[in-house]
A = this chain, B = another copy of it.
Amino acid sequence: MAAARPRRHDPERRQRIVDAALRVVGARGIAGLSHRTVAAEADVPLGSTTYHFASLDELLVAALRQANEGFGRQLRERAELADLGGPSTDLAPVLARLMGEWIGGERTGVELEYELYLAALRRPALRPVAAEWTEAVTAALARHTDLVTARALVALMDGICLQVLLTDTEYDEEYARAMLTRLLAARPDAPGDPTSGVRRVSSDSPGPSTDT
């Protein structure tokens, strides 16, 4: 039993620790992440975790960065695969579907990614990574619409997912699609755009004029 751990040179040690950390957070939440739990999960000595990651924040940063690959990569791939040649509004159903698949998947994975992401609220160390993720996703979407709209799409998607996750309600893909569509359809440069006043409106002028 004790004899089974003579491995000194283990170049993948660091990676295994990050993987273990993700499993631990997935199963028990960030609150359940400790040097000890991750060491046990990774089957490495306790000292090994503190050696590779001087603080838990450091480990969380690595974990979040790795988790970002999940949804982010999916989204980018999907958005690209869609190969949208037509009007950008076509993006909405793709995104709504993607959200549905993601949220409908294993609850554990979804919670894990969101929990890591939201942890940036209280841990400044995670904010750059959270920003990276947002930027990456936004940039991916911006290929099919403008940057401002892309950012709003991401915000809306975040908000919709949170509503589902925080209030124990069902994800409604049709509703999501419709709302994403509104953000896309009403772009200033969209033909027949009802919110073309956006640019005109500054500080205190009346709300963006909508045509009737």
Contact = CB atoms under 8 A, between A and B. Distances in A.
Interface string A110-131: 0100110110111010010011
A175 B29 contact: no
A131 B164 CA distance: 10
Interface string A169-183: 111101101110111
Given A121-B111, A169-B207, A174 B191 contact: no
A185 interface: yes
Copies of the polypeptide in the assembly: 4
Interface residues of A, number: 70
Given A181-B194, A182-B182, A197-B185, A156 B166 contact: no
A162 B158 contact: yes
A166 B168 CA distance: 23
A89 interface: yes
B157 A181 contact: no
Contact of A163 (B87, B155, B187): B155
Contact of A206 (B31, B131, B167): B167
Contacts of A177: 201-202, 207-208
A76 interface: no
B202 A194 contact: no
B130 A167 contact: yes
Interface of A: 29, 31, 87, 89-90, 92-93, 111, 114-115, 117-118, 120-122, 124, 127, 130-131, 134, 148, 151-152, 154-160, 162-163, 165-172, 174-175, 177-179, 181-183, 185-187, 190-195, 197-198, 201-203, 205-212
26 contacts: A29-B122, A89-B207, A92-B201, A93-B201, A93-B202, A114-B121, A115-B121, A118-B121, A120-B166, A120-B167, A121-B166, A151-B163, A152-B160, A167-B206, A169-B207, A171-B207, A172-B208, A172-B210, A174-B205, A174-B208, A181-B201, A185-B186, A185-B197, A185-B198, A191-B212, A194-B194
